[in-house]
Structure 1
Amino acid sequence: MNPAAHGLDGVADAGVFLTRLLRVDRAALVRLRPAPPDPRRGAATALWAPLPWRVLVTRAVAGPGPATPEGAAADATVGAADLREVLAAGREELPARADTRWRWPLPTAAAVVLERVPAAALAATAEAAAAALREARDRGTAGERVLRDALLDHVTITVDAPHTPGKPDDFRSPPGEPVAVPQRLIQAVVRMGFLGALNGIAERSVDVCVSGTWVGLAAPYGTAWLPRSGGFTLNTQFVHTLGHGQLASSVRQWT
Protein backbone atom coordinates (compact mmCIF):
# COMPACT_ATOMS: atom_id res chain seq x y z
CA MET A 1 0.00 0.00 0.00
CA ASN A 2 1.16 3.52 -0.84
CA PRO A 3 1.48 5.54 2.41
CA ALA A 4 0.74 8.76 0.49
CA ALA A 5 -2.55 7.48 -1.01
CA HIS A 6 -6.06 7.52 0.40
CA GLY A 7 -6.56 3.87 -0.55
CA LEU A 8 -10.30 4.16 -1.22
CA ASP A 9 -11.72 2.02 -4.02
CA GLY A 10 -15.37 2.82 -3.27
CA VAL A 11 -15.00 6.36 -4.60
CA ALA A 12 -18.67 6.78 -5.51
CA ASP A 13 -19.87 5.67 -2.06
CA ALA A 14 -17.31 7.87 -0.34
CA GLY A 15 -18.33 10.79 -2.54
CA VAL A 16 -21.98 10.47 -1.53
CA PHE A 17 -21.04 10.35 2.15
CA LEU A 18 -18.80 13.42 1.86
CA THR A 19 -21.30 15.43 -0.18
CA ARG A 20 -24.06 14.82 2.36
CA LEU A 21 -21.71 15.62 5.22
CA LEU A 22 -20.60 18.91 3.70
CA ARG A 23 -24.21 20.00 3.24
CA VAL A 24 -24.62 20.11 7.01
CA ASP A 25 -21.07 21.21 7.91
CA ARG A 26 -18.81 22.78 5.30
CA ALA A 27 -15.82 22.57 7.67
CA ALA A 28 -16.36 18.92 8.61
CA LEU A 29 -13.57 16.48 9.32
CA VAL A 30 -13.65 12.85 8.22
CA ARG A 31 -11.70 10.04 9.84
CA LEU A 32 -10.60 7.01 7.82
CA ARG A 33 -10.18 3.85 9.87
CA PRO A 34 -9.70 0.18 8.97
CA ALA A 35 -13.00 -1.73 8.87
CA PRO A 36 -13.76 -5.47 8.80
CA PRO A 37 -13.42 -6.76 5.22
CA ASP A 38 -16.56 -7.10 3.16
CA PRO A 39 -17.25 -10.72 2.11
CA ARG A 40 -17.88 -9.61 -1.48
CA ARG A 41 -15.69 -6.55 -1.94
CA GLY A 42 -12.70 -7.40 0.26
CA ALA A 43 -10.81 -4.74 2.23
CA ALA A 44 -12.90 -1.90 3.62
CA THR A 45 -12.43 1.49 5.26
CA ALA A 46 -14.84 3.12 7.70
CA LEU A 47 -15.47 6.82 7.19
CA TRP A 48 -16.38 8.60 10.44
CA ALA A 49 -17.59 12.17 10.91
CA PRO A 50 -19.27 14.27 13.61
CA LEU A 51 -22.45 16.19 12.80
CA PRO A 52 -23.19 19.59 14.36
CA TRP A 53 -25.93 18.11 16.57
CA ARG A 54 -23.64 15.77 18.58
CA VAL A 55 -24.08 12.65 16.46
CA LEU A 56 -21.33 10.57 14.86
CA VAL A 57 -22.01 9.03 11.46
CA THR A 58 -20.10 6.28 9.70
CA ARG A 59 -20.15 4.35 6.45
CA ALA A 60 -17.87 1.57 5.24
CA VAL A 61 -16.54 1.84 1.69
CA ALA A 62 -14.42 -0.50 -0.39
CA GLY A 63 -10.65 -0.20 -0.26
CA PRO A 64 -7.88 -0.70 2.30
CA GLY A 65 -7.63 3.02 3.13
CA PRO A 66 -4.46 4.91 4.03
CA ALA A 67 -1.35 3.04 5.13
CA THR A 68 1.65 3.57 7.37
CA PRO A 69 5.15 3.75 5.83
CA GLU A 70 5.50 0.09 6.81
CA GLY A 71 2.40 -0.81 4.79
CA ALA A 72 0.02 -1.42 7.70
CA ALA A 73 -3.49 0.03 7.71
CA ALA A 74 -3.51 3.56 9.12
CA ASP A 75 -6.01 5.73 10.98
CA ALA A 76 -6.10 9.21 9.41
CA THR A 77 -8.23 12.34 9.76
CA VAL A 78 -8.53 14.85 6.91
CA GLY A 79 -10.80 17.68 5.85
CA ALA A 80 -13.97 16.33 4.25
CA ALA A 81 -13.91 19.01 1.54
CA ASP A 82 -10.27 18.23 0.74
CA LEU A 83 -10.96 14.52 0.40
CA ARG A 84 -14.02 15.10 -1.78
CA GLU A 85 -11.96 17.33 -4.08
CA VAL A 86 -9.29 14.64 -4.42
CA LEU A 87 -11.84 11.92 -5.16
CA ALA A 88 -13.78 14.07 -7.63
CA ALA A 89 -10.57 14.76 -9.56
CA GLY A 90 -9.70 11.06 -9.70
CA ARG A 91 -6.50 11.60 -7.76
CA GLU A 92 -5.05 9.12 -5.28
CA GLU A 93 -3.17 11.22 -2.74
CA LEU A 94 -4.33 11.53 0.85
CA PRO A 95 -5.07 15.19 1.68
CA ALA A 96 -3.13 16.97 4.40
CA ARG A 97 -3.75 15.16 7.65
CA ALA A 98 -5.59 16.79 10.54
CA ASP A 99 -5.29 14.04 13.14
CA THR A 100 -4.80 16.47 16.04
CA ARG A 101 -8.13 18.17 15.29
CA TRP A 102 -10.19 15.03 15.93
CA ARG A 103 -11.85 15.40 19.35
CA TRP A 104 -14.56 12.73 19.45
CA PRO A 105 -14.48 9.24 21.01
CA LEU A 106 -15.82 6.33 18.97
CA PRO A 107 -17.97 3.35 19.92
CA THR A 108 -15.63 0.42 20.51
CA ALA A 109 -17.72 -2.41 21.96
CA ALA A 110 -19.46 -4.91 19.69
CA ALA A 111 -22.88 -3.62 18.65
CA VAL A 112 -25.97 -5.36 20.03
CA VAL A 113 -29.18 -5.08 18.00
CA LEU A 114 -32.21 -4.38 20.18
CA GLU A 115 -34.98 -3.89 17.66
CA ARG A 116 -35.63 -3.51 13.94
CA VAL A 117 -37.87 -0.69 12.72
CA PRO A 118 -39.15 0.17 9.23
CA ALA A 119 -37.07 2.74 7.37
CA ALA A 120 -40.33 4.34 6.25
CA ALA A 121 -41.26 4.94 9.89
CA LEU A 122 -38.08 6.94 10.44
CA ALA A 123 -38.74 9.01 7.33
CA ALA A 124 -42.22 9.63 8.70
CA THR A 125 -40.91 10.87 12.05
CA ALA A 126 -38.52 13.21 10.26
CA GLU A 127 -41.46 14.71 8.38
CA ALA A 128 -43.46 14.98 11.61
CA ALA A 129 -40.58 16.90 13.21
CA ALA A 130 -40.34 19.21 10.20
CA ALA A 131 -44.09 19.87 10.34
CA ALA A 132 -43.94 20.58 14.08
CA LEU A 133 -41.07 23.02 13.54
CA ARG A 134 -42.94 24.84 10.78
CA GLU A 135 -46.10 25.10 12.87
CA ALA A 136 -44.29 26.38 15.97
CA ARG A 137 -42.27 28.83 13.88
CA ASP A 138 -45.43 30.18 12.25
CA ARG A 139 -46.98 30.69 15.68
CA GLY A 140 -43.89 32.53 16.87
CA THR A 141 -43.83 30.59 20.13
CA ALA A 142 -40.02 30.56 20.42
CA GLY A 143 -36.85 31.17 18.47
CA GLU A 144 -36.10 28.74 15.64
CA ARG A 145 -32.87 27.53 17.23
CA VAL A 146 -34.64 26.79 20.52
CA LEU A 147 -37.33 24.90 18.64
CA ARG A 148 -34.79 22.88 16.66
CA ASP A 149 -32.90 21.89 19.80
CA ALA A 150 -36.12 20.84 21.51
CA LEU A 151 -37.14 18.72 18.53
CA LEU A 152 -33.70 17.10 18.28
CA ASP A 153 -33.91 16.07 21.94
CA HIS A 154 -37.42 14.70 21.56
CA VAL A 155 -37.48 10.91 21.95
CA THR A 156 -39.50 9.20 19.25
CA ILE A 157 -38.65 5.53 19.83
CA THR A 158 -37.90 3.62 23.02
CA VAL A 159 -36.84 -0.01 23.22
CA ASP A 160 -35.96 -2.37 26.05
CA ALA A 161 -32.28 -2.57 26.96
CA PRO A 162 -30.24 -5.69 27.76
CA HIS A 163 -28.98 -5.91 31.33
CA THR A 164 -25.62 -7.63 31.72
CA PRO A 165 -23.96 -6.43 34.93
CA GLY A 166 -20.34 -7.22 35.65
CA LYS A 167 -19.02 -6.67 32.11
CA PRO A 168 -17.60 -3.15 31.80
CA ASP A 169 -17.65 -3.17 28.00
CA ASP A 170 -21.29 -4.18 27.77
CA PHE A 171 -24.21 -1.78 27.56
CA ARG A 172 -25.73 -1.68 31.03
CA SER A 173 -29.08 -0.23 31.93
CA PRO A 174 -31.13 -0.65 35.11
CA PRO A 175 -33.95 -3.16 34.68
CA GLY A 176 -37.00 -1.52 33.15
CA GLU A 177 -35.14 1.55 31.88
CA PRO A 178 -35.69 1.87 28.11
CA VAL A 179 -33.16 2.91 25.51
CA ALA A 180 -34.20 6.23 24.01
CA VAL A 181 -33.78 7.08 20.33
CA PRO A 182 -34.07 10.86 19.94
CA GLN A 183 -34.64 12.84 16.78
CA ARG A 184 -30.90 13.61 16.70
CA LEU A 185 -30.25 10.08 15.48
CA ILE A 186 -33.19 10.00 13.11
CA GLN A 187 -32.21 13.28 11.48
CA ALA A 188 -28.67 11.96 11.07
CA VAL A 189 -29.66 8.86 9.09
CA VAL A 190 -32.18 10.84 7.01
CA ARG A 191 -29.96 13.80 6.18
CA MET A 192 -26.94 11.60 5.45
CA GLY A 193 -29.02 9.56 3.00
CA PHE A 194 -28.52 6.34 4.96
CA LEU A 195 -32.13 5.23 4.37
CA GLY A 196 -31.60 5.15 0.61
CA ALA A 197 -33.88 6.39 -2.15
CA LEU A 198 -37.62 6.77 -1.61
CA ASN A 199 -38.30 4.09 -4.21
CA GLY A 200 -38.34 0.81 -2.30
CA ILE A 201 -38.08 2.37 1.16
CA ALA A 202 -41.04 0.29 2.37
CA GLU A 203 -38.90 -2.85 2.03
CA ARG A 204 -35.98 -1.52 4.08
CA SER A 205 -35.40 -1.59 7.82
CA VAL A 206 -33.11 0.02 10.38
CA ASP A 207 -31.60 -1.63 13.45
CA VAL A 208 -31.70 0.09 16.82
CA CYS A 209 -28.47 -0.99 18.49
CA VAL A 210 -26.16 -0.24 21.39
CA SER A 211 -22.38 -0.35 21.75
CA GLY A 212 -21.07 0.26 25.23
CA THR A 213 -22.78 3.48 26.30
CA TRP A 214 -23.67 4.47 22.73
CA VAL A 215 -27.05 4.20 21.02
CA GLY A 216 -27.12 3.76 17.26
CA LEU A 217 -29.31 3.46 14.19
CA ALA A 218 -27.80 1.07 11.66
CA ALA A 219 -29.44 1.88 8.33
CA PRO A 220 -28.87 0.27 4.91
CA TYR A 221 -26.22 2.82 3.86
CA GLY A 222 -24.61 3.89 7.12
CA THR A 223 -24.90 4.14 10.89
CA ALA A 224 -25.43 7.05 13.28
CA TRP A 225 -24.23 6.92 16.91
CA LEU A 226 -25.04 9.05 19.94
CA PRO A 227 -23.65 8.77 23.49
CA ARG A 228 -26.45 7.68 25.76
CA SER A 229 -27.44 10.34 28.29
CA GLY A 230 -30.37 11.34 30.42
CA GLY A 231 -32.58 14.36 30.10
CA PHE A 232 -34.81 13.17 27.27
CA THR A 233 -38.58 13.26 27.53
CA LEU A 234 -39.74 9.75 26.76
CA ASN A 235 -42.53 9.27 24.25
CA THR A 236 -43.24 5.74 23.12
CA GLN A 237 -45.59 6.75 20.30
CA PHE A 238 -44.26 7.03 16.77
CA VAL A 239 -45.74 6.80 13.31
CA HIS A 240 -45.48 3.37 11.67
CA THR A 241 -47.10 4.12 8.33
CA LEU A 242 -47.40 7.14 6.08
CA GLY A 243 -48.69 7.76 2.58
CA HIS A 244 -46.32 7.80 -0.40
CA GLY A 245 -46.74 11.53 -0.99
CA GLN A 246 -45.97 12.39 2.63
CA LEU A 247 -42.91 10.14 2.62
CA ALA A 248 -41.62 11.93 -0.46
CA SER A 249 -42.11 15.25 1.32
CA SER A 250 -40.27 13.90 4.36
CA VAL A 251 -37.21 12.84 2.41
CA ARG A 252 -37.06 16.10 0.45
CA GLN A 253 -37.43 18.22 3.59
CA TRP A 254 -34.26 16.88 5.19
CA THR A 255 -32.03 16.31 2.14
Structure 2
Amino acid sequence: MSAAIHPTAFVDPAAKLGDGVVVGAFCYIGADVEVGAGTAFGPHCVVQGPTRIGRDNRFHAQCAIGGDPQDKKFAGERTELVIGDGNSFREFVTVNRGTGSGGGVTRIGDRNWLLAYTHIAHDCQVGNDCVFSNNSTLAGHVVVEDHVIMSGFAGIHQFCRVGAHAFIGMGALVNGDVAPFLMVAQDGYGRPRGINAEGLKRRGFGPERIAAIKRAYRAVFMSGASLEDARAKLEALAADSADVRALLDFIGNGERPLLR
Protein backbone atom coordinates (compact mmCIF):
# COMPACT_ATOMS: atom_id res chain seq x y z
CA MET A 1 0.00 0.00 0.00
CA SER A 2 1.49 3.33 -1.03
CA ALA A 3 1.84 6.32 1.28
CA ALA A 4 -1.18 8.58 1.84
CA ILE A 5 -0.12 12.23 1.59
CA HIS A 6 -2.51 15.09 2.29
CA PRO A 7 -2.66 17.55 -0.61
CA THR A 8 -1.48 20.42 1.62
CA ALA A 9 1.62 18.53 2.77
CA PHE A 10 5.08 18.89 1.22
CA VAL A 11 7.24 15.78 0.80
CA ASP A 12 10.67 16.28 -0.75
CA PRO A 13 11.22 14.05 -3.78
CA ALA A 14 14.36 12.69 -2.13
CA ALA A 15 12.44 11.44 0.94
CA LYS A 16 11.63 7.72 1.15
CA LEU A 17 8.28 6.69 2.60
CA GLY A 18 7.40 3.06 3.34
CA ASP A 19 4.12 1.30 2.70
CA GLY A 20 1.10 2.74 4.47
CA VAL A 21 2.81 5.89 5.73
CA VAL A 22 0.32 8.67 6.42
CA VAL A 23 1.36 12.32 6.08
CA GLY A 24 -1.22 14.73 7.49
CA ALA A 25 -2.24 18.24 6.55
CA PHE A 26 0.44 20.93 6.27
CA CYS A 27 3.31 18.56 7.13
CA TYR A 28 6.84 19.07 5.83
CA ILE A 29 9.03 16.02 5.11
CA GLY A 30 12.50 17.08 4.00
CA ALA A 31 15.22 15.50 1.91
CA ASP A 32 17.26 12.59 3.30
CA VAL A 33 14.36 11.39 5.43
CA GLU A 34 13.44 7.70 5.48
CA VAL A 35 10.18 6.57 7.11
CA GLY A 36 9.26 2.96 7.78
CA ALA A 37 5.97 1.30 6.94
CA GLY A 38 2.87 2.15 8.95
CA THR A 39 4.20 5.38 10.48
CA ALA A 40 1.75 8.29 10.63
CA PHE A 41 2.21 12.06 10.96
CA GLY A 42 -0.54 14.32 12.29
CA PRO A 43 -1.03 17.86 11.01
CA HIS A 44 1.78 20.43 10.92
CA CYS A 45 4.65 18.03 11.67
CA VAL A 46 8.13 18.95 10.41
CA VAL A 47 10.75 16.26 9.76
CA GLN A 48 14.22 17.29 8.60
CA GLY A 49 17.07 15.03 7.59
CA PRO A 50 19.23 13.15 7.74
CA THR A 51 16.64 11.22 9.75
CA ARG A 52 15.76 7.52 9.79
CA ILE A 53 12.40 6.56 11.29
CA GLY A 54 11.29 2.95 11.76
CA ARG A 55 7.91 1.27 11.50
CA ASP A 56 4.57 2.02 13.16
CA ASN A 57 5.48 5.27 14.88
CA ARG A 58 2.84 7.91 15.63
CA PHE A 59 3.65 11.62 15.47
CA HIS A 60 0.81 13.82 16.70
CA ALA A 61 0.30 17.45 15.73
CA GLN A 62 3.14 19.97 15.57
CA CYS A 63 6.09 17.67 16.22
CA ALA A 64 9.49 19.03 15.12
CA ILE A 65 11.76 16.08 14.36
CA GLY A 66 15.35 16.00 13.12
CA GLY A 67 16.09 19.71 13.40
CA ASP A 68 19.61 21.12 13.70
CA PRO A 69 21.17 20.66 17.14
CA GLN A 70 20.91 23.60 19.52
CA ASP A 71 24.67 23.75 19.98
CA LYS A 72 26.86 26.72 19.07
CA LYS A 73 29.66 24.35 18.04
CA PHE A 74 27.50 22.86 15.28
CA ALA A 75 28.88 24.02 11.93
CA GLY A 76 26.54 22.29 9.50
CA GLU A 77 28.33 18.95 9.46
CA ARG A 78 26.32 15.87 8.47
CA THR A 79 24.67 14.37 11.53
CA GLU A 80 21.69 12.06 11.99
CA LEU A 81 18.61 11.18 13.99
CA VAL A 82 17.66 7.50 14.19
CA ILE A 83 14.28 6.44 15.61
CA GLY A 84 13.18 2.83 16.08
CA ASP A 85 9.74 1.23 15.91
CA GLY A 86 6.42 1.67 17.67
CA ASN A 87 7.07 4.99 19.39
CA SER A 88 4.42 7.62 20.17
CA PHE A 89 5.31 11.33 19.92
CA ARG A 90 2.60 13.61 21.26
CA GLU A 91 1.96 17.26 20.49
CA PHE A 92 4.90 19.68 20.12
CA VAL A 93 7.64 17.11 20.82
CA THR A 94 11.07 18.25 19.59
CA VAL A 95 13.97 15.91 18.79
CA ASN A 96 17.28 17.22 17.40
CA ARG A 97 19.98 15.53 15.34
CA GLY A 98 23.45 14.89 16.75
CA THR A 99 26.64 16.93 16.51
CA GLY A 100 29.92 16.04 14.87
CA SER A 101 31.80 16.33 18.16
CA GLY A 102 29.21 14.28 20.06
CA GLY A 103 29.17 11.12 17.97
CA GLY A 104 26.96 12.43 15.19
CA VAL A 105 23.75 10.56 16.04
CA THR A 106 20.76 11.14 18.28
CA ARG A 107 19.06 7.79 18.80
CA ILE A 108 15.65 6.72 20.15
CA GLY A 109 14.81 3.04 20.49
CA ASP A 110 11.46 1.23 20.37
CA ARG A 111 8.05 1.56 22.06
CA ASN A 112 8.73 4.83 23.87
CA TRP A 113 6.05 7.37 24.79
CA LEU A 114 7.09 11.01 24.49
CA LEU A 115 4.23 13.15 25.77
CA ALA A 116 3.47 16.77 24.89
CA TYR A 117 6.35 19.27 24.78
CA THR A 118 9.05 16.69 25.51
CA HIS A 119 12.48 17.75 24.24
CA ILE A 120 15.30 15.35 23.29
CA ALA A 121 18.48 17.29 22.57
CA HIS A 122 21.44 16.50 20.35
CA ASP A 123 23.44 13.28 20.77
CA CYS A 124 21.04 11.74 23.31
CA GLN A 125 20.70 7.96 23.39
CA VAL A 126 17.29 6.70 24.54
CA GLY A 127 16.58 3.00 25.00
CA ASN A 128 13.29 1.10 24.82
CA ASP A 129 9.95 1.23 26.66
CA CYS A 130 10.52 4.61 28.32
CA VAL A 131 7.90 7.22 29.23
CA PHE A 132 8.66 10.94 29.04
CA SER A 133 5.81 12.88 30.64
CA ASN A 134 4.73 16.37 29.58
CA ASN A 135 7.49 18.99 29.38
CA SER A 136 10.29 16.62 30.40
CA THR A 137 13.64 17.55 28.88
CA LEU A 138 16.98 15.94 28.08
CA ALA A 139 19.96 18.21 27.54
CA GLY A 140 22.68 17.13 25.11
CA HIS A 141 24.58 13.85 25.31
CA VAL A 142 22.24 12.23 27.87
CA VAL A 143 21.93 8.42 27.95
CA VAL A 144 18.60 6.98 29.10
CA GLU A 145 18.46 3.21 29.45
CA ASP A 146 15.36 0.96 29.11
CA HIS A 147 12.11 1.27 31.12
CA VAL A 148 12.85 4.73 32.53
CA ILE A 149 9.95 6.99 33.52
CA MET A 150 10.38 10.77 33.61
CA SER A 151 7.59 12.70 35.29
CA GLY A 152 6.30 16.08 34.15
CA PHE A 153 8.72 19.04 34.02
CA ALA A 154 11.72 16.87 34.96
CA GLY A 155 15.08 17.79 33.40
CA ILE A 156 18.39 16.00 32.94
CA HIS A 157 21.75 17.83 32.77
CA GLN A 158 23.99 17.24 29.77
CA PHE A 159 26.23 14.15 29.77
CA CYS A 160 24.24 12.46 32.56
CA ARG A 161 23.15 8.82 32.42
CA VAL A 162 19.87 7.42 33.72
CA GLY A 163 19.99 3.70 34.46
CA ALA A 164 17.36 1.15 33.53
CA HIS A 165 14.07 1.09 35.50
CA ALA A 166 14.74 4.45 37.16
CA PHE A 167 11.86 6.82 38.01
CA ILE A 168 12.43 10.59 37.93
CA GLY A 169 9.83 12.48 39.98
CA MET A 170 7.85 15.53 38.92
CA GLY A 171 9.96 18.64 38.47
CA ALA A 172 13.21 16.94 39.50
CA LEU A 173 16.34 18.55 38.04
CA VAL A 174 19.01 15.88 37.71
CA ASN A 175 22.67 16.92 37.57
CA GLY A 176 24.38 13.56 38.11
CA ASP A 177 24.15 9.94 37.00
CA VAL A 178 21.03 8.13 38.24
CA ALA A 179 21.80 4.51 39.02
CA PRO A 180 19.47 1.76 37.76
CA PHE A 181 16.27 1.01 39.74
CA LEU A 182 16.27 4.32 41.68
CA MET A 183 13.52 6.82 42.38
CA VAL A 184 14.60 10.47 42.31
CA ALA A 185 12.53 13.27 43.85
CA GLN A 186 12.87 17.04 43.78
CA ASP A 187 14.78 18.66 46.65
CA GLY A 188 16.54 21.65 45.13
CA TYR A 189 18.21 19.32 42.69
CA GLY A 190 16.81 15.80 42.49
CA ARG A 191 18.11 13.25 44.99
CA PRO A 192 17.63 9.47 45.37
CA ARG A 193 14.57 8.50 47.41
CA GLY A 194 14.65 4.71 47.43
CA ILE A 195 14.19 2.20 44.62
CA ASN A 196 11.39 2.02 42.09
CA ALA A 197 9.90 -1.05 43.75
CA GLU A 198 6.39 -0.66 42.33
CA GLY A 199 7.72 -0.30 38.79
CA LEU A 200 9.91 -3.36 39.23
CA LYS A 201 6.95 -5.43 40.45
CA ARG A 202 4.93 -4.42 37.41
CA ARG A 203 7.75 -5.66 35.18
CA GLY A 204 7.90 -9.07 36.82
CA PHE A 205 10.69 -8.64 39.36
CA GLY A 206 10.16 -11.12 42.20
CA PRO A 207 10.65 -10.47 45.95
CA GLU A 208 14.19 -11.89 46.03
CA ARG A 209 15.38 -9.69 43.18
CA ILE A 210 13.84 -6.59 44.74
CA ALA A 211 15.32 -7.43 48.16
CA ALA A 212 18.79 -7.72 46.61
CA ILE A 213 18.38 -4.34 44.91
CA LYS A 214 17.26 -2.80 48.21
CA ARG A 215 20.37 -4.15 49.96
CA ALA A 216 22.52 -2.65 47.23
CA TYR A 217 20.70 0.68 47.54
CA ARG A 218 21.34 0.82 51.29
CA ALA A 219 25.03 0.02 50.75
CA VAL A 220 25.53 2.85 48.26
CA PHE A 221 23.03 5.52 49.27
CA MET A 222 22.23 5.11 52.98
CA SER A 223 25.32 3.68 54.67
CA GLY A 224 27.39 6.86 54.63
CA ALA A 225 30.29 4.86 53.19
CA SER A 226 32.63 6.30 50.61
CA LEU A 227 31.87 5.33 47.03
CA GLU A 228 34.99 3.14 47.00
CA ASP A 229 33.85 1.24 50.09
CA ALA A 230 30.31 0.97 48.73
CA ARG A 231 31.63 -0.54 45.52
CA ALA A 232 33.51 -3.16 47.54
CA LYS A 233 30.25 -4.06 49.31
CA LEU A 234 28.46 -4.31 45.98
CA GLU A 235 31.13 -6.69 44.68
CA ALA A 236 30.16 -9.13 47.43
CA LEU A 237 26.42 -8.67 46.83
CA ALA A 238 26.82 -8.99 43.05
CA ALA A 239 28.00 -12.57 43.37
CA ASP A 240 24.38 -13.63 43.89
CA SER A 241 22.51 -10.99 41.88
CA ALA A 242 22.73 -10.00 38.23
CA ASP A 243 20.76 -6.86 39.10
CA VAL A 244 23.36 -5.77 41.64
CA ARG A 245 26.04 -6.51 39.07
CA ALA A 246 24.26 -4.17 36.63
CA LEU A 247 24.20 -1.48 39.31
CA LEU A 248 27.89 -1.98 40.06
CA ASP A 249 28.82 -1.85 36.37
CA PHE A 250 26.88 1.40 35.98
CA ILE A 251 28.64 3.21 38.84
CA GLY A 252 31.77 5.09 37.97
CA ASN A 253 31.55 4.74 34.19
CA GLY A 254 30.13 8.16 33.29
CA GLU A 255 31.35 11.71 32.82
CA ARG A 256 29.06 13.07 35.54
CA PRO A 257 29.25 12.21 39.27
CA LEU A 258 26.88 9.63 40.68
CA LEU A 259 23.75 11.18 42.17
CA ARG A 260 23.81 10.31 45.91
Q: Same fold (TM over 0.5)?
A: no
TM value normalised by structure 1: 0.26
TM value normalised by structure 2: 0.26
Structure with greater proportional helix content: 1
Which one has a bigger Cα radius of gyration? 2
